Structure 1
């Protein structure tokens, strides 16, 4: 089973214990999506990612990021025997790419696939994982970029990301204070905090308002740095209910948190990704049978537009959300296929965008985005091949 598959199972198992059937089965009939319109058609330009060292294999792309004139694309390489190793690429112009050296320091680190990347001041930090051990748990490592440009595995105790209270490690964010990971433990949502060198992450477990309590069971998906600290997003399963309500948490330091539960309806709702658009937080997640956006306005959160609709038997999810200027770009899977959407009004309305590669839903398939100025990049992996493309504008 893949790392992401195991993580999804952990999440669903935790929700079953809490009396909920989890995000695999949100009820339908929640609102209406943005009216159908012809898909926008950017002029996609294919880019070449050089083969990483270590022998033949299929490149796997899982995430991308950009900051301070640097671009990063990360993932791994799968060989013919089913083995994996970490791989990452970088660029100074978004067009010509080079392989980043990777220096692993553990048995599982040498088999990691990079799943999340963030960057600050032109330097990257990453989360990688590999399923292994007697119980088949994801063995999570964090990585940091050192002075010579190499990605170096950060040593951590097993209990930092694993152990008897582990559920999952979700995503990594960068900010002025350093780095923040959000994820979940048996006590509910949790965070991991690091200084700017990304040399060590401290687990914050059971924090009041972030963790589950008598009000409900919490789950965190993503976070973003703000002018006042950090903002995390996810959902809360209220006591006595079987559907989540969207929730956000704010923190000055990643350690102490204040919870805000957004007004929810009878449908299943949760926030899965968050970015800043002109300094305004905008989140995208599930709203019943469709995808929905929420944004912060005048110290309160409001519902914005919806798009797409659940299809097929797979788990619907938001796989990527990025912004540039006033535009939002989202990649989602509706349970049957991956699709890409754009909004020019902070999530109020959405248009689908044609992608350069058709990616069905399923294990080891992914679409991720990054945007800078009037250009944006799409990396896709359909389970048999992967590629990277860029476009100027969103097309017509």
Structure 2
């Protein structure tokens, strides 16, 4: 009879032998699409030449837009944007800046409604070097008019950031944050905004701090997405809010999870809002159905630490495209109706470090990608069919 110690040893040997001969297979790598990217050359806008700085891209009513700035050798910037009817032939738009920071703004966020385009720009300055936010509006062919606003509207001691803006049937909204938590700026026509901060349910309270990152018009009003940092634990939960008018907000949290989660961006896919953001050490997507959020898949992976985010989303015939930073590189992922989330080969290695940026835009079968690594910026376009693989 074997002693107890020998029995344990034999069982360990059997277990080890079994592990060597029947190891679980490694997960298959995600399938990858390899589009034929074509690099575009944006025409030089009037005025002195400079280094191209790109920050955002979008499509509205069939019109494409790309925005950013030109930086001279001393680092002084001026706002620039381009428009195109087909995503291939571009022309620059005129900016009518009237303030010191407006004339030096980097245009980092685009929103549109019908034939009106609105933009957010920023340039660090002042005694503390904080971003000085400027807001612009115009028609599809320009010019872009700077909206003169008081310093406290976007800045001041309670300022945190202004993130994204969007236009819809009920006007315009900007998602952002103040010391009190998530906040919204509202306008009927994008020619001037009024801030709403400290609103019940939208702002932070005894339950935790709130943060807003994106906003979207929906048939019933507005949908804003972001996160809640609970007061009773070190964590972050994905959070959204709905409002009929921008004044009254109702919380719409994601299903409870022990993972660190947040909604970074939101877009409508086939009539259904989809949010994309962080889900633990991966990226995740959720769809809004029957008054609540449902899982729409997880994809990719992130490096440890708060260095990953969703840089942009776009909707095309092929599905929902997301540009994400995993903490080291920008990568592209497509939510395909047939295959779920699949990786998409980028036009070139896109490093995510320092003052880098990336973004996507799409319409029909066409997709555009912008990337800026801090030393140079590029724009690529491709035709991505609805059926692939």
Partner of 2:13: none
- Report how far residue 179 of structure 1 moved: 1.3
* 3-state SS in 2 of match to 1:110: helix
Identify the residue that residue 97 of structure 1 maps to in structure 2.
Answer: 90
1:28-177 → structure 2 map (5 Å cutoff): 36-146=29-139, 149-177=142-170
For residue 218 of structure 2, the aligned residue among 223, 226, 233 is 226
Cα shift at 1:270: 0.5
**Residue 240 to residue 314, structure 1, CA distance change in 2 (3 Å):** closer
CA–CA separation in structure 2 for the residues paired with 1:76 and 1:44: 24
2:368 match:
377
SS of equivalent residue, structure 1 residue 261: coil
State the partner residue of 2:292. Answer: 300
The CA distance in 2 between the partners of 1:35 and 1:299, in whole Å, is 35
Q: 1:356 aligns with which of 347, 361, 379?
A: 347
CA distance in 1, matches of 2:227, 2:340: 23
State the partner residue of 1:205. 197
From the superposition, tell whether residues 381 and 343 of structure 1 become closer, same or farther in structure 2 (CA, over 3 Å): same
Larger Rg: 2
Using CA pairs under 8 Å that are at least 6 residues apart, name the structure with larger relative contact order, 1 or 2. 1
Q: How far did residue 146 of structure 1 move?
A: 4.7
User: Residues of 1 paired with 2:306 and 2:185: CA distance?
Assistant: 30
Q: Secondary structure at the match of 1:263?
A: coil
SS at the partner of 1:362?
coil
CA positional deviation for 1:338: 0.5
Deviation at 1:251, TM superposition (A): 0.7
Distance 1:36 1:192 in 2: 43
Measured in 2, the distance between the counterparts of 1:156 and 1:57 equals 28
Pair 1:291-2:273 in alignment: no
> Which secondary structure does the structure 2 equivalent of 1:340 belong to?
strand
- The reply to whether residue 256 of structure 1 matches residue 245 of structure 2 is no
Residue 277 of structure 1 contacts residue 325 of structure 1 at CA under 8 Å; is this kept in 2? no
What displacement does 1:324 show?
2.4
Please list the CA deviations of residues 161-193 of structure 1 after superposition, one character each: whole Å capped at 9, or x if unmatched: 011111111111121122110010000000001
Kindly indicate whether the alpha-carbon contact (under 8 Å) linking 2:253 and 2:293 is maintained by their aligned counterparts in 1. Answer: no
State the distance in 2 between where 1:372 and 1:148 align: 19
Contact 2:58/2:65 (8 A) holds in 1: yes
SS across alignment from 2:152: helix
The TM-score with structure 2 as length reference comes to 0.89
User: Does 2:381 correspond to 1:390?
Assistant: yes
2 CA distance for matches of 1:74 and 1:312?
31
Write the distance in 2 (CA, Å) between the matches of 1:73 and 1:240: 42
> Aligned to 1:206, what secondary structure does the other structure show?
coil
Partner SS for 1:159? helix
1:300-319 aligned at under 5 Å gives the runs 300-311=292-303, 315-319=307-311
Q: Is the 8 A contact 1:313 1:336 kept in 2?
A: no
Cα separation, 2, equivalents of 1:315 and 1:178: 34
Residue pair 1:312, 1:336 contacting (<8 A) in 2 also? no
TM-score by length of structure 1 reads 0.88
Q: Distance in 2 between matches of 1:311 and 1:39?
A: 21
* Partner of residue 338, structure 1: 330
Q: Distance in 2 between matches of 1:206 and 1:37?
A: 43
**Root-mean-square deviation over aligned CA pairs:** 1.8
CA distance in 2, matches of 1:35, 1:157: 55
The 1-side partners of 2:118 and 2:348 are apart by: 28
Contact 1:284 1:291 in 2 (8 A): yes
Q: What 5-or-longer segments of structure 2 have no aligned partner?
A: 1-26
In structure 2, how many angstroms separate the alpha carbons of the residues matched to 1:298 and 1:281?
A: 11
1:277 and 2:259 aligned: no
